[in-house]
A and B are shown apart, each in its own frame.
Chain A
Amino acid sequence: MNGENTFQKNYEALISRELLAAWVEGFKENFRLIGPAGGKGEAEFREVFSFNEINLDYQSTMLPPGKTFLLKPVEEILSFNITPGGPVAEEPPLPDRKRILFGVHACDTHAILYLDKVFLGVFPDPFYRARRENTFIFSLNCKTVSGLCFCHLVGTGPFLKAQSGYDVLLTDMGSEFLVELKSVRAKKIFSLEGRPPEGRDLEKKKELELELLKNFRKDFKADGLREVFLSRPDHPVLKETAEGRCLSCGNCVMVCPTCFCHDIYDEAGVSLARIKRMRRWDACQDYFFAKVHGGNFREERQARLRQFVFHKLDYEGQFGVKGTVGCGRCIRWCPTGIDLTEIAKEMMK
């Protein structure tokens, strides 16, 4: 960071809603703005063309913002032609459009940090990386809590505590918004004018969070699950839930913000002129997901359900954190209301 940028600049400020709107509108020239829009039914993250379209009070969305816009549902990663001299491959251009992902809640921000571990880890994915680098993440602390949220139990919310990996943090303080620039690049690019927060403002922020914490309904002990999972992988609650209610439809994992599994397959036209290699989100609840040469290692429905529950609530050995961020989407969008926290509670008994 150079000296002239750090000099004089505010990295934290309280600004009115109108000023926030004007501030964000100003980015439209250089950024594609993506935010939670629509409010009658379920809000969804989509491209918005004015700040007024953004629903700052949204509770949740069906599809998570990070997975949808950083790891696209379906995308072409390669194409090749079969020529007389052999196959000739061509890579599609990397996405280079600058974007702002606005209004990402704490859980979904943590989900993006989780996806980073997957796609920017040992084998960085060029498409994910290009999108991630070109996307500025504006996180938004929650104002309400749904009956299905459990971020407070897994340390991902309701207020964002992570200090890096995103760019801006917004908190609705009632009459004003607290805006905090968090990343080096945000501090470089964005200028912020407004009243610097004082001690009482930070006090108020803390109070808001404490108030919010009272509204959580979900309660289970996230610690100690590993021993239970290891000792009783065939617990009857898994079989009962799988046979009685699980449709193997895959809704839970498709809406999950941290489920990163994807399938890679070729799409060839009949002319065989240009064969496209595609990547799309995959669902471990499908029977054929675990089918390999010689057999299927998750033949039974309960094995697939167990894979989901354990991967979300345990598997810390994989990336150092739990697979869940407590957003509650898998519960909300399961047609038969299967609740992984209830399964965990039952197993802990």
Chain B
Amino acid sequence: MPFFSGEKRKPRAGFFKFSCCTGCGFELAYFQRSLEDTLKSFDFTFFRLAYSSGALEGPFDLALVEGTVTEPHQAVELKRIRENSAVLYAVGSCAIAGGIPAIKAGGRELEIEKRVYQKKLYRLTSMRPSVLSDYVKVDGCVRGCPPGRRDLEEALVSILLHRRPEFIEYSVCVECKLRGNICLLVDEGLPCMGPVTNAGCGALCPACHRACYSCFGLMSRANIPALKNKFRELGLSGEEIERRFTLFDALRLKK
């Protein structure tokens, strides 16, 4: 029964955070024109950025989870959230692809910890980064760093209307053309990640004359070797290419 059809109870929602910058949470809290409607339509029983109190237990009609799993207790918490939620969406590149916290997946844990923290490493409980879907079933991916307005809204509306969400699933190039941006990769030879990156940002960087750096993560079935070849033709070194592809997608590409 859709929630708009006169049902008294509002859907219960929770917003959870693991290792990340909390940018996705901020995006929801700063959901400018829609924040009031969002809080009117949903009963956010857990959303640390908006309310200091909140019940972690659930049950939830919708769980939005941001961040990468990098500590043992997070894995436990994630499993509990899953068991108490009807629908769980991964929000943001960290939760979906590993994002920035997963850059460390490229090396050995102890060596990276030594480089960053130097001593008293026994205090660290950090472990190898994992995406949410390594632990639990994820019902949808709200891509972005942070997500675009459209997909975030789609996630919430899908719950209100009881339908399957239709998240954006095409390349940044499509959005660039819709916006009329002159192609930076073709016209200026800038190493733009647009052709393999999932859209949703509205081609923000190319519109500001900056090459896309794939913060929304790779789109599904991207032709990675073909773009790497193109970058080689542009004169980029192997390391430069590797860095571009593993900035947000280290986990998916290392596997």
Tell me the A residues contacting B by CB distance below 8 Å: 41-42, 44, 62-63, 68, 73-74, 82, 84, 243-251, 254-255, 265, 267-272, 280-281, 283, 286-288, 301, 332-336
Contacts and interface: CB of A to CB of B under 8 A. Distances in A.
B174 A250 contact: yes
A336 B4 contact: no
Q: State the majority secondary structure of interface residues on B.
A: helix
Contacts of A268: 153, 157, 161
A244 B227 CA distance: 9
A144 B175 CA distance: 31
B161 A247 contact: no
Contacts of B226: 243-247, 336
Contacts of A62: 177, 180, 182-183
B41 A270 contact: yes
Given A270-B157, A281-B178, A336-B230, A248 B171 contact: yes
Given A270-B34, A287-B169, A248 B178 contact: no
Contact of B183 (A246, A280, A333, A336): A333
Contacts of B173: 249-251, 254
A301 to B, nearest CB: 7
B169 A283 contact: no
Contacts of A334: 186
Interface in B209-228: 219-223, 226-227
Given A248-B221, A248-B222, A281-B177, A270 B230 contact: no
Given A287-B221, A333-B183, A269 B153 contact: yes
Interface string B141-184: 00000000010010011001100001001110110011110110
Given A245-B226, A249-B196, A255-B177, A283 B170 contact: yes
B183 A335 contact: yes
A247 B223 contact: yes
B173 to A, nearest CB: 4
Nearest to B31: A270
Contact of A288 (B41, B170, B196): B170
A5 B173 CA distance: 49
Contacts of B196: 247, 249
Given A62-B183, A247-B227, A333-B186, A272 B221 contact: no
Given A283-B170, A288-B170, A246 B223 contact: yes
6 contacts: A73-B177, A247-B171, A247-B196, A248-B222, A269-B153, A271-B37
A335 B41 contact: no
Top 3 A-B pairs ranked by shortest CB distance?
A249-B195, A254-B177, A271-B37
Interface residues of B, number: 41
Given A62-B182, A281-B178, A286 B171 contact: yes
Contacts of B38: 270
B187 interface: yes
A334 B230 CA distance: 11
Interface in B196-249: 196, 219-223, 226-227, 229-230
A271 B182 contact: no
A320 to B, nearest CB: 28
A247 B222 contact: yes
A254 B178 CA distance: 8
A250 B150 contact: no
B119 interface: no
A63 B180 contact: yes
A297 to B, nearest CB: 15
Point out which of A247, A254, A267 has the most chain B C-beta atoms below 10 A from its C-beta: A247
A283 B219 CA distance: 14
A89 B194 CA distance: 37
B182 A41 contact: yes
B223 A301 contact: yes
B78 interface: no
B186 A254 contact: no
A271 B4 CA distance: 9
Given A247-B223, A268-B161, A269-B37, A286 B170 contact: yes
Contacts of B150: 267
Nearest to B181: A62
Contacts of B222: 247-248
A248 B220 CA distance: 10
A303 to B, nearest CB: 12
Nearest to A252: B173
Contacts of A68: 180
B16 to A, nearest CB: 20
Interface string B10-38: 00000000000000000000000110011
Contacts of B41: 270-272
Given A247-B226, A271-B41, 16 more contacts: A62-B180, A62-B183, A82-B4, A84-B6, A250-B171, A250-B173, A251-B177, A251-B183, A254-B174, A265-B166, A268-B153, A268-B157, A269-B157, A271-B40, A287-B221, A288-B169
A307 to B, nearest CB: 16
A251 B156 CA distance: 31
Contacts of A254: 173-174, 177-178
B182 A74 contact: no
Point out which of B33, B37, B177 has the most chain A C-beta atoms below 10 A from its C-beta: B177
A42 B178 contact: no
B185 interface: yes
Contacts of B34: 269-271
B230 A335 contact: yes
Contacts of A280: 178
